[in-house]
C-alpha cells in the first residue's frame, strides 16, 4: 500500500526518506512534512512489507531540503533520521508508478496507464496519472469520499448537477459523472491543477460533463446557489470551516454534502460548524486518523 500527495513533473528532485512503525504515525509525519517552512512538492507513504505495519515516509523537494528541520521532525516523532538523496527526473516516474498499483474502492477502479486492468461491467474505471497531482485514490480521504459517493448512488439518491470544491486531479468529480451521468462544476485554487484536471477528464472521455474554474478566495462564490444535489469538498479542516456558509448555500433542499480532509480530532468542530441551520449529519466513516462526513440540507418548513 502507498499514499501519495501532490507532484509536478519536469526536472530532478531531492528525496528525504525515513521509516516509522504504524500507519497513523506515518500519516502524521506526512502532514508534518507538508507543513514545513519550505515544504516538499510531494510526499509518499509506502508500507515496506505487506502487513508489516512498518512504513517508509518520503518527501520530494525541488531543492535540497533543510536538514536541520528534518532532523527536528524525526526527533519529534522518535523515528529514524531522514536520508537525503538526489533523484533524477528520468527515474521519478518509474519510482512513483512502482509504488502505486490500481485501487478498488466500492465499484470504482482507480488506475494509472502503467497498470494492467481487467474489470467487469459493474465496475467504473477512473484513469488517474499518479505523477500529476493529489488525488490518486491511494489516500484515506479520497477512498472514503469515493466510498460515500458510491453508497449515495446505491441508496437511489438522484443527482442531476454536482459540484466538487478543490478538485485536484478531478477524481471525485469524475466518479460522480460516471455514476449519475450528470454535470459536475469544479474549482481549484492551484493553476497547475487546472491543466491536470483537463488531462484526466479527456483521458476518461468526460470533458462534456465536467468544467473547472480557477478561484482565489471562496470557491463557492463562482457557482450558483441552491442548484446542486451533491457537493464534495476533500480539502482540510481550516478552509472547510471558513467556507461553511458558502458550501451550504450551494445545496438544493435535501441535497448532500461530503466533507473530508478532516482528522478525527478535528471532526467534532466540523460537525459543530456544519450541523445547524437545517444541516444534518447523516453519515460518517473513519480510516486511520481521517474522517469523512456527509450532511443533508433539510427542506425548509412550509
Measured CA to CA, the distance from residue 171 to residue 149 in angstroms comes to 11
Q: What is the CATH number of the domain that holds 56?
A: 3.30.70
Query: CB of 193 within 8 A of CB of 133?
Result: yes
pLDDT of residue 217: 66
Across 88-219, where does the E strand assignment appear?
Answer: 103-105, 108-111, 124-127, 161-165, 183-188, 210-214
Residues 77 and 137 in one domain: no
Residues 117 and 256 in one domain: yes
Residues 115 and 236 in one domain: yes
Q: How large is the average pLDDT for residues 271-283?
A: 90
Q: Which residues neighbour 117 within 8 Å (Cβ) at sequence distance 6 or greater?
A: 102, 109, 111, 125
- pLDDT tens per residue, range 238-267: 889 999 999 999 999 999 999 998 888 899
Radius of gyration over every alpha carbon of the chain, rounded to an integer in angstroms: 19
**Whole-prediction pTM:** 0.72
Instruction: Give which of 272, 269, 265, 270 is closest to 290, Cα–Cα.
Output: 265
Measured CA to CA, the distance from residue 99 to residue 133 in angstroms comes to 15
In Å, how far are 1, 48, 55, 58, 70 from 51, measured between CA atoms? 9, 9, 10, 19, 27
Instruction: Give which of 3, 13, 7, 5 is closest to 132, Cα–Cα.
Output: 7
Q: Which of 72, 98, 124 is the last residue in one of the domains?
A: 98
Residues 78 and 172 in one domain: no
Domain count, the chain: 2
Sign of CA dihedral 204, 206, 207, 213: negative
62 within a domain of the structure (yes/no): yes
Residues 16 and 165 in one domain: no
Query: CB of 173 within 8 A of CB of 210?
Result: yes
Q: What is the CATH number of the domain that holds 284?
A: 3.40.50.150
- pLDDT tens per residue, range 144-197: 999 999 999 999 999 999 999 988 889 999 999 999 999 999 998 877 778 888
Q: Which three cell numbers stand for residue 206?
A: 468526460
Domain region containing 93: 2-98
Helix 171-180 with 140-154: angle, nearest 10 deg: 10
Comparing 43 with 10, the larger pLDDT belongs to 43
Residues 214 and 157 in one domain: yes
Cβ neighbourhood burial of 198 (10 Å; 0-12, 13-18, 19+): middle
- Weakest-pLDDT range from 116-120, 204-208, 268-272: 116-120
Amino acid at each position: 500500500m502507498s499514499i501519495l500527495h501532490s507532484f509536478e513533473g519536469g526536472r530532478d528532485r531531492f528525496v528525504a526518506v525515513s521509516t516509522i512503525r504504524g500507519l497513523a504515525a506515518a500519516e502524521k509525519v506526512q502532514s508534518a512534512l507538508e507543513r514545513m517552512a519550505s515544504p516538499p512538492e510531494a510526499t509518499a507513504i509506502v508500507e515496506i512489507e505487506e502487513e508489516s505495519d512498518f512504513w517508509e515516509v518520503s518527501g520530494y523537494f525541488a531543492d535540497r531540503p533543510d536538514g536541520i528541520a528534518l532532523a527536528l521532525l524525526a526527533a519529534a516523532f522518535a523515528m529514524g533520521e531522514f536520508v537525503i538523496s538526489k533523484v533524477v527526473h528520468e527515474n521519478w516516474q518509474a519510482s512513483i508508478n512502482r509504488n502505486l498499483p490500481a485501487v478498488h474502492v466500492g465499484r470504482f477502479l482507480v488506475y494509472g496507464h502503467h497498470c494492467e486492468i481487467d474489470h467487469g461491467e459493474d465496475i467504473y474505471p477512473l484513469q488517474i496519472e499518479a505523477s500529476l497531482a493529489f488525488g490518486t485514490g491511494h489516500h484515506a480521504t479520497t477512498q472514503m469520499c469515493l466510498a460515500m459517493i458510491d453508497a449515495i448512488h446505491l441508496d437511489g439518491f438522484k443527482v442531476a448537477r454536482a459540484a466538487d470544491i478543490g478538485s485536484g486531479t478531478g477524481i471525485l468529480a469524475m466518479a460522480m459523472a460516471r455514476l449519475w451521468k450528470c454535470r459536475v462544476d469544479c474549482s481549484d485554487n492551484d493553476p497547475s491543477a487546472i491543466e491536470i484536471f483537463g488531462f484526466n477528464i479527456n483521458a476518461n472521455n468526460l470533458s462534456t460533463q465536467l468544467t473547472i474554474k480557477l478561484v482565489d478566495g471562496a470557491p463557492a462564490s463562482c457557482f450558483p446557489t441552491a442548484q446542486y444535489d451533491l457537493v464534495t469538498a476533500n480539502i482540510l479542516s481550516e478552509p472547510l470551516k471558513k467556507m461553511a456558509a458558502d458550501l451550504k448555500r450551494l445545496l438544493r433542499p435535501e441535497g448532500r454534502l461530503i466533507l473530508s480532509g478532516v482528522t478525527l480530532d478535528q471532526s467534532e468542530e466540523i460537525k459543530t460548524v456544519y450541523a445547524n441551520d437545517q444541516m444534518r449529519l447523516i453519515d460518517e466513516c473513519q480510516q486511520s486518523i481521517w474522517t469523512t462526513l456527509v450532511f443533508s440540507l433539510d427542506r425548509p418548513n412550509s
